[in-house]
């Protein structure tokens, strides 16, 4: 993960340089934005301190950023599970990136007991907010039946959502599902459409699939 603090639209509109105000009256969003500035300037101790203050005040971006700093060992906490706790608070508060990251922990058993059903639930929450990688992960779980019952229709729905967001891999997969009729009604035109979308992003196999679907049959020999 790049060493860049996570920003979101909640930060839009804040001044690039913020005039210091009394600490106890500083809004959590301003604390979080100041923390981002400190982080990007390399002042990690200051960033962690400001993120924690904003996080304790309920700012979910600060909760996520503090969790990431803890996971990257850029700051410490006396509580051994502090990173997980802050990440979960941000995820519970509805931050899609936090939901996706929490799902990854349970998916791979990183620092927590591996639980595919729990991973699927957090992927779902992020996917429903339009998080493309979460949509791909959830679709794959439905496709192979890991953590959830195998459901090609559900897999197709989430692959299609990611494909519409421009994910080249999802475009190829949903193209193949339309071609084979897996989870969706077989539709050569839809298959060709999505193969073309992937091909235009450089997927060579998708280009070959598109060309094969659009190849003109050889005329029958005349008698």
**Domain's final residue, options 128, 150, 172:** 150
What pLDDT, on the 0 to 100 scale, is given for residue 215? Answer: 78
In a domain, 205, yes or no: yes
The domain that holds 23 is classified in CATH as 1.25.40
The answer to whether residue 218 is domain-embedded is no
On whether both 86 and 109 belong to a single domain, the answer is no
Q: For residue 133, give the DSSP letter.
A: H
Question: 2 lies in a domain?
Answer: no
Q: How far apart are CA 116 and CA 104, in angstroms?
A: 10
* Token pair 């196999």 in the structure block, residue: 205
What radius of gyration do the chain's Cα atoms show? 23
Tens digit of pLDDT for each residue in 78-92? 999 999 999 999 999
- In this prediction, residue 134 carries a pLDDT of 98
What value does the mean pLDDT take over residues 53-75? 96
Look at residue 222 and tell me whether its pLDDT is greater than 90: no
Q: 223 lies in a domain?
A: no
Q: How far apart are CA 139 and CA 161, in angstroms?
A: 10
What per-residue confidence (pLDDT) applies to 6? 43
pLDDT at 217: 54
Same domain, 22 and 84: yes
Would you say residue 8 lies in a domain? no
Residue 21 above 70 pLDDT?
Answer: no
Residue 22 or residue 181, greater confidence: 181
**Residue 73 and residue 18 share a domain:** yes
Rounded to the nearest angstrom, the gap between the alpha carbon of residue 126 and the centroid of all alpha carbons in its chain is 7
Instruction: State percent of the chain over pLDDT 70.
Output: 86
The pLDDT value recorded for residue 17 is: 33
Looking at the fold, whether 48 and 72 belong to one and the same domain comes out as yes
In this structure, are 18 and 87 located in the same domain?
A: yes
Q: Is the pLDDT of residue 14 over 50?
A: no
Question: Both 88 and 28 in a single domain?
Answer: yes
Does residue 220 sit within a domain? Answer: no
CATH number, domain of 143, equals: 1.25.40.10
Query: Within this chain, do residues 55 and 72 fall inside the same structural domain, yes or no?
Result: yes
**50/30 Cα distance (integer angstroms):** 10
pLDDT of 26 over the 80 cut: yes
pLDDT digits (tens, 9 = 90+) for 118-171: 999 999 999 999 999 999 999 999 999 999 999 999 999 999 999 999 999 999
Looking at 150, 165, 197, the residue that finishes a domain is 150
Asked if residue 6 is part of any domain, the answer here is no
Domain coverage including residue 190: 157-213
**And the tokens for 156?**
């197709």
What pLDDT was estimated at residue 201? Answer: 95
**Is 80 exceeded by the pLDDT of residue 214?**
yes
Is the same domain home to 74 and 101? no
Average pLDDT over residues 43-72: 96
* pLDDT given at position 53: 96
Residue 67 lies in a domain: yes
- Same-domain check for residues 21 and 35: yes
Same domain assignment for residues 133 and 172: no
Q: How many domains does the chain have?
A: 3
Do 162 and 192 reside in the same domain of the chain? yes
């Amino acid at each position: 993960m790049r060493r860049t603090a996570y920003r979101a639209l909640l930060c839009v509109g804040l001044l690039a340089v913020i005039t210091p105000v009394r600490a106890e009256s500083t809004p959590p969003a301003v604390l979080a934005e100041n923390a981002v500035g400190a982080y990007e300037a390399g002042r990690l101790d200051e960033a962690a301190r400001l993120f924690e203050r904003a996080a304790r005040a309920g700012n979910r971006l600060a909760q996520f950023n503090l969790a990431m700093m803890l996971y990257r060992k850029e700051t410490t906490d006396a509580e051994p599970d502090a990173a997980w706790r802050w990440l979960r608070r941000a995820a519970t508060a509805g931050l899609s990136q936090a939901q996706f990251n929490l799902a990854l922990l349970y998916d791979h058993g990183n620092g927590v007991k591996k639980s595919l059903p729990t991973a699927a639930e957090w992927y779902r929450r992020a996917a429903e907010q339009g998080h493309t990688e979460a949509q791909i992960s959830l679709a794959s779980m439905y496709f192979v039946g890991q953590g959830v019952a195998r459901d090609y229709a559900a897999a197709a729905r989430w692959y299609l959502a990611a494909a519409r967001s421009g994910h080249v891999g999802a475009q190829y997969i949903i193209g193949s599902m339309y071609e084979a009729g897996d989870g969706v009604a077989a539709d050569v035109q839809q298959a060709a459409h999505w193969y073309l979308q992937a091909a235009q992003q450089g997927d060579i196999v998708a280009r070959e699939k598109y060309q094969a679907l659009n190849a003109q049959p050889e005329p029958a020999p005349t008698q």
